[in-house]
Amino acid sequence: MDYVNIIIPFVGGLGMFIYGMQIMAQGLENAAGNKMKSLLEVLTKNKLMGVLLGAAITAVIQSSSATTVMVVGFVNAGIMNLSQAMGVIMGANVGTTVTGWLVSSVEWAEFLSPSKLAPIAVMLGVVIMLIGKRRSSKEIASIIVGFGLLFIGITTMSSAVAPLQDSESFRNIFVTLGSSPILGILAGALVTAVIQSSSASVGILQSLAAAGLVPFSAAIYIIMGQNIGTCVTAMLSSMGAKKNAKTAALMHLLFNIIGTVIFSVIAIIYFEVLNPSAGTGVITQTEISMVHTAFNIGTTVLLFPMSNWIIRLAKKIGRVEEAEQDKSKVLLDDRILETPVIALQSTVKEVARMGRIVEDSLDVARNVLFTKSHDDIQFLKDEESTVDRLSAGITAYSIKLSSLQISEREHQDVAHLLQMVSDIERISDYCENISEFAETLYEKKVTFSDIGKEQLEEMLDVCIDSYKYALRAFVEGSREMALKVIEKETKADDLEITLRSRHIKRLTNNQCNTEAGIVFLDTLVCLERISDHARNIAEEVLEQIA
């Protein structure tokens, strides 16, 4: 038998299958757009929501490995705790069954015959890609082309292995895998670990099944092994990460191993004791999809009540305890960049978190000039250091994000975020300046006059409110809030001129302490600039939602 003419087309078909799957997944991911972005909103919900989230993301990006790698990134960044991660991991196993059903559809949907539909799909997608001008057209074209290439790939693989139907030795290999559960599981795990995609591994199995080469029992054990092999990607990804992230990858491995052990015992009892003849029959592509889906859903349903126990076991093996998150640590991870739309939404959330830290600083700065509290002065200095670290980390991450293959709109969103980060960081600097002014007042044992204090409180209220409206405008995407910022900033400009003029008259008439008066004027400058930066943020929001 000419194995060269079998292996080369088979490998080429596998490459086309994987490439088509990636193109289709990218198109689906881009088309999902805002829906994908909003998925992060449910991360704080219960574990069942996590399962649904994991299934949804994996169904879109068509890779449980990529989803789990992303989960490792979330845990490493501190965005997700281990309980939330467990739910997403379980859901990822369910979502990965979608590709298998696409492949097997050629058996239960005649009109999806690859020989007829795949070339048409590729040609249609290319035409749309060439003539379509809108972004949505390009995304639809990617989905259609990827769909066609996926089917051409699976057809090429099936055709390549067809001559093996006459090979007694090749058939004996699968008979051996079917009669030896451990060998079958190891074979599935090894192939999946090498190509790092359970969807592609299932596709290979289905192409062999189409040639009538795979016994039912062998397929069962290989599928179980594939679920273990897909854990390799996440385990490799967790290398160099924090213990919590390594524990998330370990949870994925334990979940699949426990599920495999349970269902392998059931399969052995059925094939060896209850119905030995059932394992010798040849399995079809559709039956592989059914087994794959039943195994993954069954494992999730069975182990869902035991998920907390799996988390505890993984933590015990990994010797980890979840610690309180350091708020100065940037909650972003390079692993999340595998899915740019979610990485962008994570960046938005991190900018909002940075913004809330500065909001807290402004609340303290509102009174520190009058109380001259040492604790408040130190708090503002510490918070400024925290914001500096966040600003540097978010900026570096945003630059990495902008270098990826993202849409023009997403490039613009990243540019807006970078500008907002700069403005928020500058406002934090002014909060530190105010703390230094308070320190000066304390050291020189001076204070503002009653009228000076009253006027400064008025300016503080206007400028701090302008920032709070700006932050709300950013978080909520609110045009109304952004317009309020512009209104407040205009008022702050006028107020700064008025109060400066009045204060200079008081200084001229010796109605206030000179040293306190200098601090008063410097504070007016800081507050007016805070309102300027708040307006900058509002204008970025208005451009974004235009």
- Both tokens of residue 203? 């596709």
Question: Residue 215, SS3?
Answer: strand
| Long-range Cβ pairs for the range 471-480 (8 Å, 24+) | 471/352, 471/355, 471/356, 471/359, 471/537, 473/537, 473/538, 473/541, 474/351, 474/352, 474/355, 474/420, 474/537, 474/540, 474/541, 475/352, 475/355, 477/541, 477/544, 477/545, 478/541, 479/541, 479/542, 479/545
Average pLDDT score over residue span 498-515: 81
Number of residues that this document lists for the chain: 546
- The predicted pLDDT at position 205 comes to 85
pLDDT band with cut points at 50, 70 and 90 for residue 188: confident
CB 178 within 8 A of CB 155: no
Q: Which residue has the higher pLDDT, 477 or 160?
A: 477
Dist. CA 229–CA 188, nearest whole Å: 7
pLDDT over 70 at 111, yes or no: no
| DSSP symbols for 496-546 | HHHHHHHHHHHHHTT-S-HHHHHHHHHHHHHHHHHHHHHHHHHHHHHHHH-
Secondary structure element (H or E) that encloses residue 399, with its range: helix 374-402
pLDDT over 90 at 104, yes or no: no
| DSSP symbols for 276-335 | GGGGGSBPPHHHHHHHHHHHHHHHHHHHGGGHHHHHHHHHHHHT--PPPP-TTS----GG
- The predicted pLDDT at position 114 comes to 58
Nearest Cα to 225, choosing from 195, 264, 252, 176?
Answer: 264
- 17-65 tens-digit pLDDT: 778 777 776 776 666 655 555 555 555 467 788 888 888 878 776 677 7
**Tally of CB atoms within 10 A around 264:** 18
Dist. CA 1–CA 319, nearest whole Å: 53
- The predicted pLDDT at position 351 comes to 95
CB 39 within 8 A of CB 67: no
Please report, to the nearest 10 degrees, the dihedral formed by the alpha carbons of residues 351, 354, 359, 364 taken in order.
Answer: -170
pTM above 0.75, yes or no: no
Identify residue 343 by its one-letter amino acid code: A
Dist. CA 407–CA 482, nearest whole Å: 25
Dist. CA 513–CA 520, nearest whole Å: 10
Strand partners, 215: 282
- Both tokens of residue 495? 């107020």
pLDDT over 90 at 80, yes or no: no
Question: What φ, ψ does residue 327 adopt, rounded to 5°?
Answer: -70, -15
- The mean predicted confidence, pLDDT, of the chain is 83
Dist. CA 254–CA 90, nearest whole Å: 11
Strand partners, 282: 215
Q: How many CA atoms lie within 13 A of 546 on its CB side?
A: 12
CB 160 within 8 A of CB 13: yes
For residue 169, what are the contacts with CB-CB under 8 A and spacing of at least 6? Answer: none
Instruction: Using alpha carbons only, give the angle 492, 540, 77 rounded to the nearest 5 degrees.
Output: 110
For residue 306, what are the contacts with CB-CB under 8 A and spacing of at least 6? Answer: none
Q: How many CA atoms lie within 13 A of 269 on its CB side?
A: 6
Domain assignments of the chain as residue spans, ordered by start: 4-318, 339-545
Share of the chain above pLDDT 70, in %: 87
| Sign of the dihedral defined by the CA atoms of residues 155, 158, 160, 163, in that order | negative
Q: What is the DSSP letter of 270?
A: I
Question: Residue 330, SS3?
Answer: coil
- The predicted pLDDT at position 35 comes to 58
- 399-444 tens-digit pLDDT: 999 998 887 888 999 999 999 999 999 999 999 999 999 999 888 8
Question: What φ, ψ does residue 45 adopt, rounded to 5°?
Answer: -80, -170
Structural class in CATH, domain 339-545: mainly alpha
Residue 353, by phi and psi: left (phi above 0), alpha (psi -120 to 50) or beta?
A: alpha
Nearest Cα to 140, choosing from 152, 117, 124, 118?
Answer: 124
The answer to which of 19-33, 254-268, 509-523 has the lowest mean pLDDT is 19-33
pLDDT band with cut points at 50, 70 and 90 for residue 110: low
- Both tokens of residue 296? 């993954």
Nearest Cα to 143, choosing from 24, 223, 260?
Answer: 24
Chain CA centroid to CA 366, Å: 37
Max Cα–Cα distance, the chain, nearest Å: 109
pLDDT band with cut points at 50, 70 and 90 for residue 497: very high
Dist. CA 83–CA 19, nearest whole Å: 34
